[in-house]
């Protein structure tokens, strides 16, 4: 008899499985498409914090998760023998004008307090960065909390570590023990149908990998685009957020525009060849926060959904709080993340 069955092998399902295994439970993951087949199999991988002001439970939860990430991914790499591509190298953002500069400087002190001295928010000269975006003021924000991971490789590493620790990952099977639904867009659509209203939706994202090697450089956020140098010698750019689309898995001119804007923002990327184009649906709840806790329509079961753009950044803490809830009955999930907050 399996202690925990997890439906869905995306980043939430895999992270919860790992946390349950660490607590001594027997775990089986069931996903007909295999690990990282949906949004978690993307290519961007920005683990970027919210701004250090207007603090709330969501930002606290994310901070705790980002601080857990280094230890988690190091352990996963060791157990699996596969690098997830994790590195906490920080992030650069251009400062566009005097108002933005004033705000950026104010956040230097709030970051020191709210980030608990674990990371910093700096204002630097653009010339101090080896790979920098264009900036009208000549200044950049540099935070040291942001990190990167290669989503597809991270899912492969997690899956391999789970199997190495005795967990099962199957395409089908019986739902034994405690059941957790981490089924992404399909799970949100099921809730929409049951509630006869929009609880969540799939938002299409498009991104690309460029043949540009800068594995030790910070990520960049410029013109609303994430630019993420990966350890394998590629650089990811993305992504779109599309609520209306004909095909959720095809790329089009909107991705061409993203690539062009990324190259304009970071001239060093000019001439870099596109080696992969990716599109997929990301699960977004109505309130844009993860939905974690007791399943609202499957009696006695649980739900972990709504990672949207921050799933990988939230995953370490999501795995921890869900394992505590399912196995021990200890509920440390922020009220705003619980399913009842989405209805």
Q: What is the pLDDT of residue 181?
A: 98
Q: What is the pLDDT of residue 342?
A: 81
Helices 11-22 and 151-164, packing angle to 10 deg: 30
Q: What is the pLDDT of residue 9?
A: 98
Q: DSSP per residue over 146-165, as a string?
A: -EE--HHHHHHHHHHHHHHT
Burial class (CB in 10 A: 0-12, 13-18, 19+), 300: exposed
Residue matched to tokens 């505590």: 324
For domain 4-87+147-199+286-342, the CATH architecture is: 3-Layer(bba) Sandwich (3.50)
- How far is Cα 4 from Cα 1, in angstroms, rounded to an integer? 9
Domain residues of the chain, as ranges? 4-87+147-199+286-342
Q: What is the pLDDT of residue 139?
A: 98
Task: Kindly give, in sequence order, each residue whose CB lies less than 8 Å from that of residue 329, ignoring residues fewer than 6 positions away.
Answer: none
- How far is Cα 343 from Cα 333, in angstroms, rounded to an integer? 17
Helices 311-328 and 11-22, packing angle to 10 deg: 40
Q: What is the pLDDT of residue 125?
A: 98
Q: What is the pLDDT of residue 1?
A: 87
Q: Mean pLDDT of residues grouped by 10 in the chain (343 residues)?
A: 97 98 98 95 96 94 98 98 98 97 97 96 97 98 98 98 98 97 97 95 97 98 98 96 95 97 98 97 94 97 96 97 98 96 84
Going through 127-232 in order, the beta strands assigned E by DSSP cover 139-143, 147-148, 168-170, 178-181, 200-210, 219-222, 225-229
Question: Would you say how long the chain is, in residues?
Answer: 343
If we measure between CA atoms, which residue out of 146, 173, 158 comes closest to residue 30? Answer: 173
Q: What is the pLDDT of residue 130?
A: 96
Task: Kindly give, in sequence order, each residue whose CB lies less than 8 Å from that of residue 36, ignoring residues fewer than 6 positions away.
Answer: 9, 10, 11, 14, 151, 152, 154, 155, 156, 159
Q: What is the pLDDT of residue 343?
A: 82
């Amino acid at each position: 008899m399996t202690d925990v069955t997890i439906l869905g092998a995306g980043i939430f399902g895999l992270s919860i499985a790992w946390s349950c295994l660490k607590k001594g439970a027997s775990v089986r993951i069931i996903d007909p498409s295999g690990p990282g087949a949906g949004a978690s199999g993307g290519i961007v991988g920005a683990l970027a914090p919210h701004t250090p002001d207007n603090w709330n439970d969501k930002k606290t939860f994310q901070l705790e998760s980002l601080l857990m990430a280094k230890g988690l991914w190091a352990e996963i790499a060791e157990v699996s023998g596969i690098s997830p591509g994790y590195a906490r190298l920080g992030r650069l953002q251009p400062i566009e004008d005097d108002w933005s500069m004033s705000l950026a400087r104010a956040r230097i002190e709030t970051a020191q307090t709210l980030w608990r001295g674990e990371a910093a928010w700096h204002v630097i000269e653009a010339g101090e960065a080896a790979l920098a975006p264009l900036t009208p003021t000549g200044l950049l924000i540099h935070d040291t909390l942001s990190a990167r991971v290669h989503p597809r490789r991270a899912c492969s590493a997690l899956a391999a570590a789970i199997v190495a620790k005795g967990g099962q990952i199957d395409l089908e099977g019986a739902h034994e023990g405690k059941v957790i639904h981490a089924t992404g867009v399909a799970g949100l659509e099921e809730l929409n149908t049951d509630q006869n209203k929009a609880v969540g939706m799939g938002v299409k994202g498009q991104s690309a990998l460029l043949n540009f090697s800068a594995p030790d450089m910070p990520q960049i956020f410029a013109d609303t685009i994430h630019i993420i140098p990966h350890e394998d010698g590629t650089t990811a750019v993305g992504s779109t957020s599309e609520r209306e689309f004909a095909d959720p898995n095809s790329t089009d001119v909107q991705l061409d525009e993203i690539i062009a804007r990324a190259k304009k923002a970071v001239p060093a990327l000019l001439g870099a060849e596109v080696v992969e184009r990716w599109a997929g649906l990301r699960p977004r709840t109505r309130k844009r926060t993860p939905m974690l806790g007791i399943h609202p329509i499957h009696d006695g079961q649980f739900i972990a959904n709504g990672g949207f753009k921050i799933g990988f950044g939230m995953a370490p803490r999501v795995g921890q709080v869900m394992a505590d809830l399912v196995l021990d009955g200890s509920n440390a999930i922020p009220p705003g993340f619980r399913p009842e907050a989405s209805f």
